[in-house]
Amino acid sequence: MKAKKSVSVALSGVISALSIVTMFLTAVLPVASLSLCAIAGMFLAVIIIEFGYRYALSSYLVTLALAGLFVADKDSVLLFALCFGLYPILKGLIERIGKKMLQWAAKLAFFNGIMMVYYFLATRVLLIPADEFQIAGQSVPLLILLFGNVVFVFYDIAFSRLISFYCYRLQENLRKRLGL
């Protein structure tokens, strides 16, 4: 039992480190900041699968705290905090709902709610000018939200496939190497 706990803490630390490094890259590749935030959150799926939600939540909080302190792009930290770091944890819980339509309704409700909170915090707390959310001089937050929903559906499907890939191709090898 003690060996498994030390392995779970160590792997959670490694996953947090990978997430932090990925978050650091948002300053180097600002064009890819949204994708990098999503990737940083996807690492948490390994912790959920191997050790459960408690360790994943701890890893999320550690990653969030360190990102808040050291990552220069605070907009990306906010996206990670509200959406991409939290979603892997919620995804597993939401997918316990029996009906697919209810799952998608819950996922999209989460995404839309978080994006509204993000817009408010980005413009009011981080003081990102509202014209950053314009295209050709036209304010388009609702259009961005609609497009975001489409992208989020593709993100969720891709995330599910990555989880399947991990479970069917990588999990056994990782467990052998960790002695689990």
User: Which pTM value belongs to this model?
Assistant: 0.85
140 pLDDT above the threshold of 70: no
Contact 40, 84 (CB under 8 A): yes
The domain limits of the chain are: 2-178
Distance CA 135, CA 149 (A): 18
pLDDT at 3 over 60: no
pLDDT in tens, 73-123: 888 999 999 999 999 999 999 999 989 999 999 999 999 999 889 888 888
Compute the distance between CA of residue 106 and CA of residue 112 in angstroms, rounded to an integer. 10
